[in-house]
Amino acid sequence: MDKNLFLNDLKLLETENKSAVQLYNEISALAMHRLQASAKKGKCAHYLSIEFLIGRVFYNNLLELGVLEETAKILKKKGVDISVFEEIEDAALGNGGLGRLAACYLDSGAAVGVPLYGYGIRYKFGLFRQKFENGFQIEMPDDWQRFGDPWSVRREHERQVVHFADMDVEAVPYDMPIAGKRVNVLRLYQAEGSESAEKISGVLYPADDTEEGKLLRIRQEYFLSAAAVGDIVKEHERLHGDLASFAQYSAVQLNDTHPVFAIPELIRVLVKKGVSYVGAVKIAKETFDYTNHTILPEALECWDARLVRKILPDIAGILRALSDTQARLHKKRGYTRAEIEQTAIYQPKNQTFSMANAAVFVADKVNGVADIHSEIIKRKLFAAEYRHMPEKFTNVTNGVAQRRWLMLANPELCALIDRRIGKEWRQDFEKLSEFGHFICEQKTISEFIAVKREKKNQLFSHIAKQEKTQMNGERMVYAQVKRLHEYKRQLMTAFALVRLYRDLKENKLPDFTPSLFLFGAKSAPGYARAKGIIKYINEIIAKIDADDAVRGRLAGVFVTEYNVSYAEKIVAAADVSLQVSTAGLEASGTGNMKFMMNGAVTLGTMDGANIEIVEKAGEKNNYIFGARVEEIERLRAGGYDPAAYLKDHPEWAKIAETLVDGTYSDGGTGIFRELYDSLLVGASWHKPDHYFIFRDIEEYYQAILRANADYAQRERFAEKQLKNVANSAYFSSDRSVLEYADKIWHIQKDER
């Protein structure tokens, strides 16, 4: 883009009497007008994902285009403060780490010059908007387009028809340019043609507890897969003609199992165009790669074959054929009967298609998202495949876009880094390590402390506005912000908070540094226990808040409507990043990296990317506690008895009792009793305390106290924080994308 043309247009823009929304649309249009997608040459990668959690794009795009500062200056001259655009809400077409990762990867692909194209769904409603009523989560629809969508262009001529047995659906693409060294495109498809067609791109993750819900989910996944495959094949034919060379020019990354229907769809399309079935399978095997993002059994998709057959008979047929091909091949390769059964795409026992098995069978490469996670999938989840085809498996540790998570979120810290090592690190993030030479310097330490104070003040004034909660003073900030799920153990933090409250009240912690515990999370609407945990935390916070005896020393805030923009403020302000999942269950985590870059220490378990974080920044600069994976595996195999533990630890027993002894009220819903039972009796198909809270709780509490005591020596603590900043370069998604390009897609970056 020619920056000057844009800036000249902006200088001429009439701003008087225009609303923020109007200006947002007009300025965005000026930038869009000057943006043009880069030409495709050589091999391209395509990233298929059911979620793209892009957040607010306005500032990010101007930053990527290199005009953010100038734009702010020009607008200021016209009397417009660039922060007015903060009222434009986020586009939340995703729900957590998986979707945010997709957005960071697109950002990095463009920034480093890798031709990486995103394919997703343009949901009419994004993830629900959240508020609390009496401490309970209430969901409201997120009509994200009400401010307009100036960063997308509808491509009328590129529409396609997606066929289901009972209806035809129009897939209309909306293109969002992703600017950097090159301009890539995120193509989101909207479903049109009839009322039932429109439902397909209606909402993200429709409830799938009924047959109708399941069918809708299958339709969404196939809709995305078929539109993307159709588009990639068409583009290949336009540029290269011959389909035999398809895999030479296209890599397709399956972001978890949701887009796995792309495999049978590609085979279907190729066969229809005259390629033999065997030839089509070969091309598919060279084209697809698969990333696994979780080992939780409830999240590994298995679709009822009857339902797939009902609306997609051809696709069901191809999956069955593929499963037969697979069985023959595995037999020839010497898989045991048990291994053949485990890895089968079609599972005859329950008549389902295992989408993960299809992905692993066809993919050229399968990767996990952090070292430990990749080891676990090799050793457990896909053990048989790994035994016979070890070369298929690899790891690419996740990363985050430092442009959004550091430069945009924390310009104050960036300015401090600039003052020490110059500005080059902004283009080449590995240079950030040079900052390491300065972090023991008194001047750097005091300036860093001042930056943290400033970021806390900014966060607190935002919280005052959003949550009507006043927060002041020099507090230490502990933050746990992420999807709400039992394995992430927000409930364990809640217990620790109750313990802190009690110990403070009983004057057992005379030297406690005043602290704030910050929570942010949305719970899936149908996930009753997660919603119960939100209510419990809100009850605890309210009680602490009402108690004069502790108010100055301890506070909690559960922010409402936690989203990407809120996260930007929280990661910049926090001192301690709480990453406390049961070892082995958090595939990677990416919040942990965002906090690290901004100088929060990690207080967490040896899980996901936490392990790599402490490896880089040093265990002594972080707070590690709890059972390691091996111990959890042993406990799971037998011998874990939370009731016996509580018998020996009456202080924790009393705290667990607060779920049922009337200390906190669940409004008569019975959900606290259900949570209590899940810990002590076992509920649904789980054993009691399935996530090992009581194995780790005392160690967790001690780690919180240790960090708190260390913080009293503010400067020493700041050094630990700075060590984390200086060693965070590895966690840039620029590094991750280059690794994908090199190890998985075999693509050269564009050296323009």
Q: Which residues are catalytic?
A: 293, 482-483, 488, 590, 594
- Beta partners for residue 121, in sequence order: 189
CB within 8 Å of 214: residues ≥ 6 apart: 208, 303, 304, 307
Binding residue for ligand 26V, selected from 75, 215, 587, 693, defined by CB under 6 A: 587
Binding residue for ligand 26V, selected from 256, 289, 301, 568, defined by CB under 6 A: 256
Least CB distance to ligand 26V at residue 101 (A): 4
Judged by beta carbon, residue 195 or residue 298, the one nearer ligand 26V is 298
Binding residue for ligand 26V, selected from 296, 329, 643, 681, defined by CB under 6 A: 296
Least CB distance to ligand 26V at residue 485 (A): 6
As a dihedral over the C-alpha atoms of residue 175, residue 179, residue 184, residue 185, rounded to 10 degrees, the angle is -10
**Is residue 101 part of the contact set for ligand 26V (CB under 6 A)?**
yes
- Which segments of 136-272 does DSSP mark as H helices, in order? 195-200, 211-240, 246-249, 262-272
Burial 505-525 (b: 16+ CB within 10 A, else e): eeeebeebbbbbbbbbbbbbe
**Is residue 294 part of the contact set for ligand 26V (CB under 6 A)?**
yes
Report CA-CA distances (Å) from 346 to 318, 327, 419: 11, 10, 59
Is 122 within 8 Å of 201 (Cβ atoms)? yes
Q: What residues from 398 to 427 belong to the interface with ligand 26V (CB under 6 A)?
A: 398
Judged by beta carbon, residue 101 or residue 169, the one nearer ligand 26V is 101
Token pair for 62: 């101007």
d(CA 215, CA 234): 28
**Is residue 368 part of the contact set for ligand 26V (CB under 6 A)?**
no
Judged by beta carbon, residue 232 or residue 593, the one nearer ligand 26V is 593
From the list 133-141, 223-231, 288-296, 349-357, the region that binds ligand 26V by CB under 6 A is: 288-296
Is 384 within 8 Å of 343 (Cβ atoms)? yes
Least CB distance to ligand 26V at residue 368 (A): 9
**Is residue 577 part of the contact set for ligand 26V (CB under 6 A)?**
no
Phi-psi region of 18 (alpha: psi -120 to 50; beta: other; left: phi over 0): beta
**Is residue 209 part of the contact set for ligand 26V (CB under 6 A)?**
no
Least CB distance to ligand 26V at residue 348 (A): 24
From the list 95-103, 146-154, 224-232, 702-710, the region that binds ligand 26V by CB under 6 A is: 95-103
**Is residue 293 part of the contact set for ligand 26V (CB under 6 A)?**
yes
CA 406, chain centre distance (Å):
17
From the list 290-298, 424-432, 493-501, 677-685, the region that binds ligand 26V by CB under 6 A is: 290-298
Binding residue for ligand 26V, selected from 589, 599, 604, 642, defined by CB under 6 A: 589
d(CA 109, CA 536): 41
Binding residue for ligand 26V, selected from 25, 108, 367, 590, defined by CB under 6 A: 590
Identity at 457, one-letter amino acid code: N
Contact pattern for ligand 26V over residues 642 through 681, marking x by CB under 6 A: ----------------------------------------
Applying CB under 6 A, the site for ligand 26V has a residue count of 19
Least CB distance to ligand 26V at residue 360 (A): 16
CB within 8 Å of 501: residues ≥ 6 apart: 540, 543, 544, 547, 550, 554
For 559, the 3-state DSSP assignment is strand
From the list 292-300, 451-459, 620-628, 727-735, the region that binds ligand 26V by CB under 6 A is: 292-300
Contact pattern for ligand 26V over residues 607 through 626, marking x by CB under 6 A: -x------------------
Q: What residues from 310 to 339 belong to the interface with ligand 26V (CB under 6 A)?
A: none
Least CB distance to ligand 26V at residue 95 (A): 8
**Is residue 180 part of the contact set for ligand 26V (CB under 6 A)?**
no
Q: What residues from 464 to 523 belong to the interface with ligand 26V (CB under 6 A)?
A: 485
Least CB distance to ligand 26V at residue 51 (A): 8
Cβ neighbours of 288 (radius 10 Å):
28
Contacts 24+ apart (CB under 8 A), 463-471: 463/557, 463/559, 466/559, 466/560, 466/561, 467/557, 467/559, 467/560, 469/545, 469/557, 471/516, 471/555, 471/557
Least CB distance to ligand 26V at residue 369 (A): 4
Identity at 521, one-letter amino acid code: A
Cβ neighbours of 649 (radius 10 Å):
15
From the list 11-19, 62-70, 269-277, 583-591, the region that binds ligand 26V by CB under 6 A is: 583-591
Length of the chain: 752
Judged by beta carbon, residue 5 or residue 296, the one nearer ligand 26V is 296
d(CA 225, CA 229): 6
d(CA 559, CA 460): 11
Going 24 to 25 to 30 to 34, the CA torsion angle's sign is positive
**Is residue 366 part of the contact set for ligand 26V (CB under 6 A)?**
no
For 203, the 3-state DSSP assignment is strand
Binding residue for ligand 26V, selected from 149, 231, 586, 734, defined by CB under 6 A: 586
Judged by beta carbon, residue 504 or residue 675, the one nearer ligand 26V is 675
Least CB distance to ligand 26V at residue 235 (A): 27
Least CB distance to ligand 26V at residue 488 (A): 8
Identity at 270, one-letter amino acid code: L
Least CB distance to ligand 26V at residue 692 (A): 17
Contact pattern for ligand 26V over residues 382 through 401, marking x by CB under 6 A: ----------------x---
Binding residue for ligand 26V, selected from 27, 98, 381, 414, defined by CB under 6 A: 98
From the list 42-50, 580-588, 711-719, 726-734, the region that binds ligand 26V by CB under 6 A is: 580-588
For 307, the 3-state DSSP assignment is helix
From the list 2-10, 85-93, 405-413, 586-594, the region that binds ligand 26V by CB under 6 A is: 586-594
**Is residue 526 part of the contact set for ligand 26V (CB under 6 A)?**
no
From the list 36-44, 225-233, 289-297, 374-382, the region that binds ligand 26V by CB under 6 A is: 289-297
Identity at 248, one-letter amino acid code: Q
d(CA 185, CA 103): 12
**Is residue 579 part of the contact set for ligand 26V (CB under 6 A)?**
no
d(CA 141, CA 127): 8
**Is residue 299 part of the contact set for ligand 26V (CB under 6 A)?**
yes
d(CA 178, CA 174): 13
d(CA 187, CA 171): 11
d(CA 656, CA 20): 49
Least CB distance to ligand 26V at residue 398 (A): 5
Judged by beta carbon, residue 97 or residue 109, the one nearer ligand 26V is 97
d(CA 439, CA 436): 6
The footprint of ligand 26V (CB under 6 A) covers: 96-98, 101, 256, 293-294, 296, 298-299, 369, 398, 485, 586-590, 608
